[in-house]
Amino acid sequence: MKNFYYLFCLISTLSIHAQNKCDNANAYLVSAYSHVKSSYEANNISHLKYSAHRSLESINLAKKTLADCNCTKALEQANKALEVLAKVDDQPTYEDGRYFVKRAKEFCQQSVIEMDKCATSSYSMPEVIEEDVADASDSNDLASLKNEQAALLAQQEALKRKEAEIKKQLAAQKEKELLLKKQQLVVSYEKMIDLNIKTYNETLKSCNCGHQNISKSSSGNTSEMTTEALKVYYTNQLKTLASAYLAELDSCKL
């Protein structure tokens, strides 16, 4: 019965090892879905294409280990996502690019779902273990099984460290993407403010009332602001400029 116990442990360990093989692929697929979702939610074509390209890179990384996972449906959906993401860079308009990104987002989501199904099924126990296999094991076989089990446990620890490293990298990627999004938001609002000031001053100049030039106030420290705080900050600036412009118009009427 001891031999049976050790054989059972080995089979269980092999099952867990097979599951861990898929962890890397699953992490990359989740990353790919996160990137393509950011692409779909982008408000300009450059951000859309940037995030789509990041999603494509993550799927390519996932494919390197997907073949070892025996999860055919997840691989099929990943290939479909790759096919449409490869077309995004060539699209001339935001709407055209977003059409392909939407399809890729659906394929990526389905690929993650299929990976979850495979992960769940891989934990199922073997249905039949023949008793004569266990009874035939001698002391040398037992020592060999112990050595294999120790090697597999070491591999599991290495995979756990790799998983932690991937999670750290994903967190760093997310932080970089958030910073890029904030930078693009600041640039967009600054351009909008400059355009409004130019329009306001040109309009007031045509009134020939000796108006006071409209100018923007000194920028605050936006580097520490959240995305929502930036939106509120710049919306208030736009309101202040509009109020100053209307006040100048009213003075011209007088």
| Residue-level pLDDT at 124 | 43
Q: Is the pTM of this model over 0.75?
A: no
Half-sphere exposure of 213 (CA within 13 A, CB side): 5
| Residue-level pLDDT at 132 | 46
Q: Which tokens belong to 153?
A: 């446990």
pLDDT means over runs of 10, the chain (254 residues): 40 44 82 93 94 93 82 90 93 94 94 84 46 51 78 83 84 85 88 90 82 76 83 89 85 66
Q: Which backbone phi and psi does 64 adopt, to 5 degrees?
A: -65, -30
| Residue-level pLDDT at 64 | 82
Q: Which residues contact 143 (CB under 8 A, 6 or more apart)?
A: none
| Residue-level pLDDT at 138 | 56
| Residue-level pLDDT at 215 | 83
Distance CA 61, CA 162 (A): 14
